[in-house]
């Protein structure tokens, strides 16, 4: 699944515009296949928080886990089904399609905290390693899982060549 996604991303490189167009047109079945990877490595969750651009992946992940999707930008605290009465904070993962500088994810983290949610991890289809988003999020003790890591070079986008992040279970 991850290799098929990576191979498809390779066909769009080095153009960032082609990559964005391809992601926008990606069919639901492909998002479901990718969501299976995240479903296997993320901890137990009460819901997923979808950031703009992350809705297809968030819906596929929520479907795989049988949990609701929440909009990361909405302000009221959502009702999460089957939440234990003694649990004050629902546990969620932020889901984004394209992680760059991490600022939208940090904003979503703050909104989630104000809503009484506990964010356990960030899941991203694509991560731009040169944009430092992972660093910003990990400084907030948020593990980041990305299906594909890309870096900007003088010739355009390319796969990250440094040692890739592994897919450990997030606890």
- In tens, the pLDDT along 86-121 reads 556 899 999 999 999 999 999 999 999 998 999 999
Check residue 138 and give its pLDDT.
95
Residues 65-73 have a mean pLDDT of: 93
Percent of the chain predicted with pLDDT > 90: 79
Check residue 3 and give its pLDDT.
78
Percent of the chain predicted with pLDDT > 70: 85
Check residue 167 and give its pLDDT.
56
Check residue 26 and give its pLDDT.
95
Whether the Cβ atoms of residue 95 and residue 58 lie closer than 8 Å to each other: yes
Whether the Cβ atoms of residue 123 and residue 96 lie closer than 8 Å to each other: yes
Quick count: other Cβ atoms within 10 Å of Cβ 50?
24
Q: How many residues does the chain have?
A: 171
Higher pLDDT, 1 or 110: 110
Whether the Cβ atoms of residue 65 and residue 45 lie closer than 8 Å to each other: yes
Residue 98's SS3 state is strand
The model's pLDDT over 13-53, given as tens digits with 9 standing for 90+, comes to: 999 999 999 999 999 999 999 999 999 999 999 999 999 99
CA distances from 28 to 3, 6, 74, 122 (A): 17, 17, 24, 20
Alpha-carbon distance of 168 to 145, in angstroms, equals 9
Domain map of the chain by residue range?
A: 2-17+33-76+89-159
Q: Which CATH class is domain 2-17+33-76+89-159?
A: alpha beta
Q: Which residues contact 147 (CB under 8 A, 6 or more apart)?
A: 2, 5, 6, 34, 37, 38, 124, 125, 126
Tokens of 49: 């928080």
């Amino acid at each position: 699944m991850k290799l098929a996604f990576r191979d498809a991303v390779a066909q769009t490189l080095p153009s960032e515009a082609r990559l964005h167009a391809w992601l926008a047109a990606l069919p639901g079945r492909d998002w479901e296949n990718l969501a299976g990877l995240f479903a296997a490595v993320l901890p137990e969750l009460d819901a997923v928080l979808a950031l703009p651009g992350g809705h297809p992946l968030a819906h596929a992940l929520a479907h795989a886990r049988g949990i609701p999707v929440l909009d990361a930008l909405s302000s009221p605290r959502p009702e999460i089904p089957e939440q234990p009465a003694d649990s004050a904070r629902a546990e969620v993962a932020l889901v984004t399609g394209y992680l760059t500088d991490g600022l939208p994810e940090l904003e979503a983290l703050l909104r989630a905290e104000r809503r009484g949610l506990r964010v356990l991890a960030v899941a991203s289809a694509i991560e731009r390693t040169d944009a430092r988003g992972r660093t910003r999020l990990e400084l907030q003790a948020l593990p980041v899982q990305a299906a594909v890591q890309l870096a900007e070079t003088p010739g355009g986008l390319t796969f990250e060549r440094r040692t890739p992040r592994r897919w450990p279970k997030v606890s």
